[in-house]
């Protein structure tokens, strides 16, 4: 595990080495510190339309890129883990 932090409602979320490797391979412009900041203080959090019970999308706006960082977090047994992270132009 690379980090574990609490999100704004107090739930723990972690990022594993395996998921970080995926993010770095597929989305190398994403920084780990920005993932942490987005989880701790998101602009918006919305349930996934594909799995609204278990997956939440955390968004934060990056002023330099003029895009939102989307962090997909899956929750199991009250604990969250980062699935992926990438930039999007808008929050749907």
Global pTM reads 0.94
- How confident is residue 9, by pLDDT bands cut at 50, 70 and 90? confident
Tokens 């970080």 correspond to what residue? 20
- How confident is residue 56, by pLDDT bands cut at 50, 70 and 90? very high
Q: CA dihedral in degrees (76, 19, 15, 31; nearest 10)? A: -140
Q: What residues make up the domain containing 44? A: 3-88
Q: How many domains does the chain have?
A: 1
């Amino acid at each position: 595990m690379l980090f574990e932090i609490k999100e704004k409602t107090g739930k723990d979320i972690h990022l594993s080495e395996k998921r970080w490797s995926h993010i770095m391979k597929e989305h190398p412009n994403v920084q780990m510190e920005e993932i942490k900041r987005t989880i701790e203080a998101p602009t918006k959090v919305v349930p996934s339309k594909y799995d609204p019970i278990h997956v939440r999308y955390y968004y934060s706006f990056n002023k330099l890129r003029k895009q939102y960082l989307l962090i997909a977090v899956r929750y199991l047994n009250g604990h969250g883990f980062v699935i992926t992270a990438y930039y999007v132009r808008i929050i749907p």
